[in-house]
Amino acid sequence: MENILIKFIKQKKKCQHKNALLHSNSGYCPDCGKFLVKNYYIVRCACCDIKREAKLSWGEIVPVEKFCSNCGSKEFYIEKLDSVSLVDAQYAIYLKEIADELKYLHPEAQIWVEEDEEKIRQIPLKN
């Protein structure tokens, strides 16, 4: 019984692709078999647009410092880079993402809008 439970949990756990893309920018993960691409992102201040140092926290890209050192703003946005220049290299963070599940290209806001539309349709016409 215990063994089955452990197996179930392991299957549910998302693959971190630790052994994938060690020497390339795209390819298959040896652990889960998904086709992965390396994508580079930088974090910019939403207020003054300056590049901010970024880190990965629980799989999310966040700025290292809480507030922008240039303008003091807390807001930031994430920009996807097509290629990394030497200037960007010190700020860029890369994620190994499954080719058809690029999460930063599909903002969650889009999903929320669809859910709202669904709710509107479900409202009965009769009062």
Does position 17 interact with Zn ion (CB under 5 A)? The reply is: yes
C-beta of 51: minimal distance to Zn ion in Å?
10
Q: Which residue of 42, 43, 54, 68 would you call a contact of Zn ion, by CB under 5 A?
A: 68
The residue within the footprint of Zn ion, chosen from 70, 89, 90, 116 (CB under 5 A), is 70
Task: Please spell the DSSP secondary structure of 50-109, one letter per residue.
Answer: -EE-EEEETTEEEESSSS-TTT----EEEEEESS--HHHHTT-EEEEEETT--GGGS-HH
| Residue keyed to tokens 């215990």 | 2
What is the distance between the alpha carbons of residues 49 and 120, in angstroms, rounded to a whole number?
Answer: 37
Q: Does 31 bind Zn ion (CB under 5 A)?
A: yes
Distance CA 54, CA 68 (A): 12
Does position 95 interact with Zn ion (CB under 5 A)? The reply is no
Instruction: Identify which range of 37-45, 76-84, 87-95, 107-115 contacts Zn ion by CB under 5 A.
Output: 37-45
Provide the binding-site residues for Zn ion, judged by CB under 5 A: 15, 17, 29, 31-32, 45, 47-48, 68, 70-71, 73
